[in-house]
Amino acid sequence: MKKTSTRLADGRELIYYDLRDDTVRDAADRRPLDATVTTSEIRRDPLLGDAVAVASHRQGRTYHPPADQCPLCPTRGERLSEIPDSTYDVVVFENRFPSLAGDSGRCEVVCFTSDHDASFADLTEDQARLVLDAWTDRTSELSHLPSVEQVFCFENRGAEIGVTLQHPHGQIYAYPFTTPRTALMLRSLAAHKEATGGQNLFDDVLARELAGERVVLEGEHWAAFVPYAAHWPYEVHLYPKRRVPDLLALDEAARTEFPQVYLELLRRFDRIFGEGEPPTPYIAAWHQAPFGALEEFDGVTRDDFALHLELFTIRRTSGKLKFLAGSESGMNVFINDVPPEAAAERLREVASS
């Protein structure tokens, strides 16, 4: 992997990640951009104890542009975009309309490929590995920012999810706090450790799932399963078999196998609902240990946390979406229409031939 860092016309950082070491990236951003102005603010909810990012400048962000005006495609002739070069493998840049900025953290965009009509599932194994390497590098770099406590790499795909740019891309949020969902995991981890005399909750969950009926696919270094209490109609958790706290700690064997397993998983997601169906909308979310202090989680260290990816769709059956209604949105009590065992069986049925 070759990494080249540069600046866009408004001062934002842009980084090229290339498969070839001899690739030269010296194209300049020719757009007449003013400096980016953000109004991001973190507010704490005194009742729930969680955080809300207030970012009014995002109202003006790019919204469903036509393909010939996509800001994530490479620059071609006088068609100028966020990527100054005419080609790229993987690109990461600071979001022009960030939810988090300055002392409130940082938001980045990750473009997986220059092919506007592709998806992550269309990547080659080498391309997918390059994305993994980019996620890892950004996690490392962002973790050293003084305002950052947790790094979250994720992909939203599909208009049903709320994606406003159709080009294959993901995002990275660098939060100045430990997110509420991670805090819940850490509290459960601490309670389990105390109740069992030191056992690790993530290890016990993975062992139980591997011995059960909800395994979707399994490699030498990775395992994917539908969790016992899945919140979403089709939800899969992907774990490295050797517990590590973050992407940085993955060994070379796990990095090499990841593209094979993950690409197969994504391709199965696109086959869940049968031939002729539009691509399955999904969210793919990496869960990594926070880089901040964990004193409030009794007896838990970063090494107790288990890196894993959660992949789920809001489509519950052909042509129908699962909306978060009163119980889910009002009380955070999910109701799942698809039994996890049935979801796992379906995901095994649609394996590549």
Catalytic residue among 167, 169, 192, 287: 169
Contacts of 48 (CB under 8 A, 6+ apart): 180
CB 305 within 8 A of CB 297: no
DSSP structure class, residue 8: -
Point out which residues pair with 3 in neighbouring strands.
17
Gyration radius of the chain's alpha carbons: 20
Q: Rounded to an integer, what distance in angstroms lies between the CA atom of residue 207 and that of residue 287?
A: 19
Q: Is 57 a catalytic residue?
A: no
Q: Rounded to an integer, what distance in angstroms lies between the CA atom of residue 274 and that of residue 23?
A: 41
Q: Which residue has the tokens 């866009």?
A: 8
Closest CA to 101 of 11, 169, 34, 41: 41
Q: How crowded is residue 278: how many other Cβ atoms within 10 Å of its Cβ? A: 13
- Kindly provide the residue ranges of all beta strands, DSSP E only, lying in 161-267, ordered along the sequence: 169-175, 215-218, 222-225, 234-240
Cα 171 to Cα 91, 147, 149, distances in angstroms: 11, 18, 17
Q: Rounded to an integer, what distance in angstroms lies between the CA atom of residue 68 and that of residue 72?
A: 10
What are the catalytic residues? 169
